[in-house]
Amino acid sequence: LRIPPIRVAVRSVEKTLELAKSNAEIPIVYEDDALLVVNKPAGLAVHGGSGVSFGVIEALRHQRPQARFLELAHRLDRETSGLLLVGKKRSSLTTLHEMFRSGGKNGVPGADKRYLLLVKGRWMDQVRHVKLPLYKYLLDSGERRVRVADEGKASHTVFRLRARWKNFSLLEAELRTGRTHQIRVHLAHLGFPIAGDEKYGDFAFNREVQKAGLKRMFLHAWKMQLSHPLSGEMMHMEAPLP
Q: Which residues are catalytic?
A: 77
**Residue 81 to residue 60: CA distance in whole angstroms:** 16
Cα torsion angle, 200, 204, 206, 207, sign: positive
Could you tell me how many helices (H) and strands (E) the chain has, helices first? 5, 12
Q: How far apart are CA 75 and CA 38, in angstroms?
A: 12
Contacts of 91 (CB under 8 A, 6+ apart): 34, 229, 230
User: CA angle at residue 93 from 16 to 226, to 5 degrees?
Assistant: 110
Cα angle for residues 77, 80, 81 (degrees, 5° grid): 130
